[in-house]
Structures are given as C-alpha cells and as structure tokens.
Amino acid sequence: MRGLIDLGTRLAHGKMNRLTLLVMLLAARSLFLLCLPHGAHSSDVNNWIGVDAALDSGANPYNTTTFLNWPPLWMQVIFAAGRVARAGNFQLVNVLRCVLIAAEGGVLLLTHALLQRYCSRERSFWLALGAIALNPISILLTCQHCNFDIFVALFVLLALGFLLRFSENGDPVDWLCGCACLGLGALTKTVPLVLMPALAFGLRKLAWKVRMLGALLLLGPISLGISVIYSLGPKAVTDNVLHYRSIAGYFGVTGIFRIVQWPWASNAYTRLFPVVILALLALCALFAVRRARATSEELPLYFLGLLAVVPGLGPGYGPQYIYWFLALLPIVFVAGTNPRVRRAIIVFYAVAIVTYITEYAMFRSHGSFLVHLHPTADLDYLSGGMSSQLGQACIRMPLFLAWVFMLGAIFARAGQSLSRASDGSERAGVAVQ
C-alpha cells in the first residue's frame, strides 16, 4: 500500500513539474507579446502573409511567390492558420504564434523527458526551464521571428528518444519509429537528413526487410511531398526548392570573407562545402555501422554535432537555424562528463543569448523591437548600419567563434569515444582468437 502511495506521489509530482514548465513557457511568451510593439516581427511574417493570400485566391504559392523553399508541410500549416484567422477575425501572425508556441510546448516536454534519462527530476526541471521555457532565444524565435524550425526540433527530439530506446533494447520497432520521425522532420525541412549516420548504429543486426522499411519511412514523406508540388510547378520548385541555398556573407566563414572583401573565396567555399559535409556524413556512417549500439552519451553528441555543423560552418545562415539543435544542448550537457564539452556549451549559450537579443532588438529583417519601442532617427540610423550584410557579419563574429569552439569540443569528444570503442573491439577480437 505504501509503495502505491509513493508511486502516486511521484507521478503527481512529475505531472506538476510538466504543468509548471508549460505554464512558465506560456507566461513568458504572453508577457513578451504584451510588451512587443505592433509591427515588430520578422520579414518572414510578411512572406507568410503573402503565401496565405495566394492560397486564399486559389493560387499555388510555389508558383506565384518565392517564399517557400522547402517541402510543403509549412504551406499546409499556413493554409489551416489562414482559414482559422479569417473564420475568427484574427491576425494571421497571432494564429501562427499560437501554433508555434504549441509546438514549442511539445519540444519542452520532450526535452524534459529526455533530460530525466540522465539526471534527477529536480535538475531536469530547472534545465528545461532555463534552456527552453525561459530562454530568450526561444522566446524571440517563436514570438518575433515566427519561423517554423521549431517543428524540426520536435521531430529531431522524437527521433532521438526512439533511437536511445533502440540502443537499449534493440527493438526494430524503435529504430523504425526513429526513421519515421526523421522522415517527418525532412518533410518540414531537409536538414534532418544529415542525421542519417545516427541510424547506422546497430544497422547490421536488423533484417533487410526492416532496413528497407526504414528507408521508406525516412525518404518517403519528403519524396511524396516534393513530387506533389513539383508536378504542379516543375520550374518554380526546381529553382526555389531543389536549388535553394541560404544567402552567404552574413555569418561564419563567408561572413569573414565578406569582411575582408574576398567574394571569390566565398564562392569557392560555397561550392566546396557540400562535398565536405557529404564526406563527413559518410565517415560518420562508416564508424557508426561498425558498432552494435551507441552509448547514451554518443547518440545525443552525434545529433548535436551533425545538426550544428551545417549552419555553423556552412556558407548560408539564418538565425532560426539554431532551433534545430537548441534543445539538444542541455541533453548533451548532462549526458556526458567531459568538462570541455560542458564549458563550450555554457560559453555558446551565453554568447548566443547576447547576440540574439542584439539582433532582434536592432536588425530590421528580424523586427527590430527596440527601434519600434523608441523610434528615434539616431536609433533607426544605427539599426540600418547594423542590419547591413557587413554589420550582421561583424556582430555575429563572437557567436561564430563560440560555435566553432563548441563544435571542436563535440567532435573531439566523439572522436575519443569512437577510438575507445574501436580499441575495445580490437582487444575483444584478440581475446577471441
């Protein structure tokens, strides 16, 4: 009887923690939106309004606009949000904010659940609260930027949860669920496909029919989605989706080339990077496929490293890309004991928070909430200079350095882990012989 009472108490306490996290998330975003001046939203919001207008008129926004550069999931969300907005006489941006906040609530709960695999209930609560619910980066991206990368994070966390279970129990159903979640993530944006090497852990012990079904679940959603929109507008989809690349020169390596005015180097780097990233993915898959399972530390490390390397070192950049892996940072922080990785994550968080508050306060493309709050000529002039390509590249330089520092720590730790596993395998092989 006492055991049942203790179990009920723990369950009630767990539900209360989750409810508290959701209330804090909603309260923080409601307070921010109350203080946010009218019109302080990113240029992406204007794009979504254009997409909604095209859909409402019966047009195909992939043909009539250049705003949709991905598979059609987000277009479908805008279609539904537009119907709700017109039926209830709401502003489209507010309906989209509600959708994004709801998705962020799912990310918060998944992060909290994954954290509990590695640390106590109390510590997982505070980490989820600080890393997601009250994180200024999350608030700015959801409420002011209003892009849909939060859905990528949602599917990535679901995939991580299933693959962690697969590494523990070897159940093929968990591996297939992980494939399906990454497939849905790719239907949102293609970037989750860089996590395919993580599916290679334990691949050899799976039957061929399971592998084939996994490939179908992984590639089926994006293939079907792209095929539908392609059939309705082959040229537009080819130009705006298949050939889409983020604009270079605003961050990172190409940002440095912009500062020193080396456009030839930026063009060469843009052409070279896809080859380098494909080679990295092939190398990671080669290491992973030789392993019967991934440890509970390695798998989140793989997820974080592969997702963070694309916007961190890639030629193109968008501030919303950080949400692909933002929720993975506290998980990796508690999943391992490497002090260098932990220090790198703390430094990255600190620099990123300062950078994002500066960007969304001043950059015109982001909404410049400070300029809207205090619309003076001097502040507007400063905002214009900071919003230029050169200004953005310079302001983001500390973030890029912190990003590189974190990636270095992650890949160094992953390399050590794989080396130890390889050495252990060799010793085991010698012992058997």
Domain ranges for the chain: 13-418
Closest C-alpha among 405, 285, 280 to residue 340: 405
What letter would DSSP give residue 37? P
Provide the angle, in degrees to the nearest 10, between the axes of the packed helices 328-335 and 121-128: 150
Query: Is 306 exposed, middle or buried, given 0-12, 13-18 or 19+ CB atoms closer than 10 A?
Result: buried
3-state SS record for 163-188 = HHHHHHHCCHHHHHHHHHHHHHHHHH
Radius of gyration of the chain (CA): 22
Count how many Cα atoms sit within 13 Å of the Cα of residue 295 in the half-sphere of its side chain. Answer: 13
What residue type is 150 in one-letter code? I
What letter would DSSP give residue 316? B
Output the pTM of the full model: 0.92
DSSP result, 370-387: HHHHS--HHHHHHHHHHH
**What whole-number distance in Å separates Cα of residue 351 and Cα of residue 302?**
23
Closest C-alpha among 50, 59, 157 to residue 112: 157
- Enumerate the β-bridge partners of residue 410: none
**In this structure, is the dihedral angle defined by the CA atoms of residues 112, 118, 124 and 129, taken in order, positive or negative?**
negative
Both tokens of 371, joined, read: 């300029």
Q: What is the pLDDT of residue 243?
A: 81
**What whole-number distance in Å separates Cα of residue 408 and Cα of residue 419?**
16
Cα distances (angstroms) measured from residue 34 to each of 27, 30, 31, 366, 405: 10, 6, 5, 18, 37
Q: Are 167 and 207 in contact (CB under 8 A)?
A: no
Q: What are φ and ψ of residue 216, in 5° steps? A: -65, -40
Q: Are 154 and 103 in contact (CB under 8 A)?
A: yes
Per-residue pLDDT of the chain (433 residues; tens, 9 = 90+): 455 445 444 544 567 788 999 999 999 999 999 999 988 999 999 999 999 999 999 999 999 999 999 999 999 999 999 999 999 999 999 999 999 999 999 999 999 999 999 998 889 999 999 999 999 999 999 999 999 999 999 999 999 999 999 999 989 999 999 999 999 999 999 999 999 999 999 999 999 999 999 999 999 999 999 999 999 989 989 988 888 878 888 999 999 999 999 999 999 999 999 999 999 999 999 988 988 888 888 899 999 999 999 999 999 899 999 999 999 999 999 998 889 999 999 999 999 999 999 999 999 999 999 999 989 999 999 999 999 999 999 999 999 999 999 999 998 888 777 666 555 443 433 332 2
Both tokens of 141, joined, read: 């991206």
**In this structure, is the dihedral angle defined by the CA atoms of residues 192, 336, 341 and 347, taken in order, positive or negative?**
positive
Q: Are 324 and 191 in contact (CB under 8 A)?
A: yes
**Contacts by 47-52 with C-beta closer than 8 Å and gap 24+?**
48/78, 48/92, 48/93, 48/96, 48/146, 49/92, 49/93, 51/75, 51/78, 52/78, 52/79, 52/81, 52/82, 52/85, 52/92
Angle at 258 between CA 252 and CA 260, to 5 degrees: 110
**What whole-number distance in Å separates Cα of residue 337 and Cα of residue 415?**
15
In the numeric block, the tokens 């962690």 are attached to 164
Q: Are 201 and 293 in contact (CB under 8 A)?
A: yes
DSSP result, 63-90: HH-S---S-THHHHHHHHHHHHHHHHT-
